[in-house]
Structure 1
Amino acid sequence: MDFSLSETQNDAAELAATIFKNECTPDRLKAADKGRFDEALWGKLGEAGLLGLSLPEADGGAGLGLLELCSVLVEAGRLVAPAPLASHLPTALAIAQFGDDATRAAWLPGAVTGEKVLTAAFSEEREHAPVTPTTTAEADGGTWLLTGVKTVVPSGTRAAVFLVPASTPDGVAAFLVEPGAGVHVLPQRLSDGGEVARVELERAPGVLLGDLADGAAIVEWIEQRLTLAAAALELGIVKGALELTAAYAKTREQFGRPIGTFQAVSQRLADGYIDILGADLMLWQAAWRLEEGLPAATEVAGAKLWAADAGHKVAHTTVHVHGGVGIDMDGEAHRYFTTGKLGEFLLGGTTEQARKIGALLAAEPV
């Protein structure tokens, strides 16, 4: 049995890696730290077809799958690319999967070229996830009106549309909400400089995605792919962080020899390598199961748990081994630390994912 990636998956990763290497230079990354969005990079990704690689060809995409999508996200994380791929790509997938002809025509061509940034507004002010959204949607004639608050919305200040889960009288469902009447977008800033938003909805018009009767299944479908994307991006970040730290340990000398030859340093790097191997295996298992249409709730939660755990450990190893250089804003290590720590908790960290896995296992028949 061959578990290696296919030629198509490797080609997608290599194309992405080339673009990120050329565009994510130290000077460009430093300039993009305020906002964590590089317009030129975003345009290059659109020109290369990477913003639509997993969309159907009928919608202007390349017709590839989740494995290729994850390959690109890993490469984006490896260089901490300032582009909101982990929210844009799954949102576009959801529109392609559940949107009607008019909805797909309205959003997907612009999403493929990069003209339009799509984002998912799933986070709310709550202690633990997942729970029923406090955001509500009520039907008023032929229009759905949404009320509630979504927090830390990726690229919320520049998004052309928000993908919003909300509670209806018949259960949870997914809606598309455009900035405009009833939508108040309040800019927020993360510790890595990234621009996000608090989105307050006051009877904001929304378009139902898919059938209301299938709303819960649709929201779960979307959340699984958002979580998988977050895990893939975090895996790339920890891979890049470990590579940077290992290279530094080879050249930084103390007491007349490279610090990488000291047992304490080499053991921490080895531990990080093992953590990344585990996260890597969990990611591809979850991605493959989703791609094949197999049950994958436990595997997706497991992939995010491993990515979050590796993110925590490797982020701290990166700063500790770099010493003072690790918090120097003119260096690179600080960016891996802040972005990696944020990725650790995105859509649920180790505790939330462990609780989810426990609940899923407890619900299985004896």
Structure 2
Amino acid sequence: MDFTFTETQDDLSGLARPLLADWAAKHTPDSSGFDRPLWAALLRAGLIEATLPAPIGNGFGLLEQCSVLIELGRATAPVPYLTTVAVGAAAIAAFGGDDQVQRWVAPVAAGDATLAVAPATEDDRITATRTAEGWQLDGSHSAVPAGAFADAVVLEALGPQGPLLFVLDRDTAGLRLTEQHVIDGSDAALLELDSVAVTNANVLGKPGDDAARWARRRATIAACAYQLGVVERALELTGEYALTRQQFGKPIGSFQAVRQRLADGHLDVEAVRLTLWQAAWRESQGLPADSEIVTAKFWTAEAGHRVAHTMVHVHASIGIFLDYPVHRYFLAAKRTEFLFGAATEQLRTLATALTVPRSK
């Protein structure tokens, strides 16, 4: 694989980092999980349009989106880029028709809409039953990211012949979205569907397209990219603190135990970085990447947990002060640890892939 970043990736990172750093220096995120002025600033800077699919946007793809997501993670930016651009709009563009793209993606480019995503998990299941007019959806999905405010939801449902991908407007009859307060805010929602009737215009892709699995892979890669930004910046903050905090007349970074924790944190961050880019590159090239994606998400969960706890332990009591920025990285790392499947779930998936013979 090629680890070299494209010129576009460098440009997007170089544009996003100072914009987000300036915002982080001046703002403390509220619990809504959605800073609309920041989202508008990203739109004005062209970061949304650049990575939206053509013909609505410039058509840059997964690798460029990952570069933006890393910068968003470094700032723990409360904007729905992951769900709206990297997964929702990308899935609609990849599997939807022109009418679906104009209905749901064009408003994103104009700054008039955001999207939530609800891929199936071990605990959350939605079923799709064939009807004369289209489909009936039943079931629920908890803690849907961006569900508290999104204008539409891209969701996975289990149909009679396998998983299907649907996109539904927020005001669809019978669809209920109830705000939930999760570890770092109130952007999530409980999605409930009770005999919701939809037409084929709400279905993304055709039989055999495997749109739901595609969206699930993209969501997982996007979460890994965001987590890389979180843990990368968390480790930087912890190292800076260890160099300046004095104890017994010397920086705490000179103590062996602290140095070991920081060294372990460095290895964890690099593990996330390498596995993320391997998975993202293979996915972008159309190569088999299932095992690589699962591996990246495992490291995203494990490293996120360890780096977050190292950060709080080294900072001691100020690591949990609400008026000090460190706690935001702890919360973001812990939430992303479990987003779209925690470490144990990834290991079970990987074990199955390694031990069950593939059909010829």
Q: 1:172 to 1:2 in 2, by over 3 A?
A: closer
**Is 1:214 equivalent to 2:208 in the alignment?**
yes
Match of 1:130 in 2: none
CA contact (8 A) 2:80 2:146 kept: yes
Pick from 79, 92, 95 the counterpart of residue 95 of structure 1.
92
> How many residue pairs are counted as aligned between the two chains?
354
Q: Cα offset for 1:365?
A: 5.3
State the secondary structure of the residue aligned to 2:185: coil
Q: Distance in 1 between matches of 2:300 and 2:316?
A: 24
Any residues of structure 2 matched to 1:132-143 within 5 Å, and which? 134-143=125-134
Coordinate RMSD, CA, aligned = 1.7
What is the CA deviation profile of residues 8-42 of structure 1, one whole-angstrom value per residue up to 9, with x for unaligned ones? Answer: 111111111122112222x51x2x23112111111
Runs of at least 5 residues in structure 2 that lack an aligned partner in the other structure: none
State the secondary structure of the residue aligned to 1:247: helix
CA contact (8 A) 1:49 1:113 kept: no
What is the CA deviation profile of residues 252-294 of structure 1, one whole-angstrom value per residue up to 9, with x for unaligned ones? Answer: 1111111111111111111101111111011111111011000
Which amino acid in the other structure matches residue 214 of structure 1? G
Q: Cα offset for 1:88?
A: 1.4
Q: Distance in 1 between matches of 2:121 and 2:176?
A: 15
Which amino acid in the other structure matches residue 85 of structure 1? Y
Q: Distance in 1 between matches of 2:118 and 2:132?
A: 25
**Is 1:237 equivalent to 2:225 in the alignment?**
no
What is the CA deviation profile of residues 45-85 of structure 1, one whole-angstrom value per residue up to 9, with x for unaligned ones? Answer: 12223224333331x21211211110110111011111122
CA contact (8 A) 2:180 2:187 kept: yes
Q: Distance in 2 between matches of 1:266 and 1:33?
A: 34
Q: Distance in 2 between matches of 1:228 and 1:113?
A: 26
Q: 1:157 to 1:271 in 2, by over 3 A?
A: same
Q: Distance in 1 between matches of 2:64 and 2:220?
A: 16
**Is 1:356 equivalent to 2:356 in the alignment?**
no
Any residues of structure 2 matched to 1:328-347 within 5 Å, and which? 328-347=321-340
Q: Distance in 2 between matches of 1:76 and 1:364?
A: 39
Pick from 308, 327, 336 the counterpart of residue 315 of structure 1.
308
State the secondary structure of the residue aligned to 1:35: coil
Match of 1:120 in 2: 117
Which amino acid in the other structure matches residue 266 of structure 1? R
Q: Cα offset for 1:176?
A: 0.8
Percent identical across equivalent pairs? Answer: 43
What is the CA deviation profile of residues 150-189 of structure 1, one whole-angstrom value per residue up to 9, with x for unaligned ones? Answer: 1101111211111111122232211111122101111100
**Structure 1 range deviating more: 14-23 or 294-303:** 14-23
Q: Cα offset for 1:220?
A: 0.9
Runs of at least 5 residues in structure 1 that lack an aligned partner in the other structure: 127-132
CA contact (8 A) 2:258 2:314 kept: yes
TM-score in terms of structure 2 length: 0.94
TM-score in terms of structure 1 length: 0.92
Match of 1:158 in 2: 149
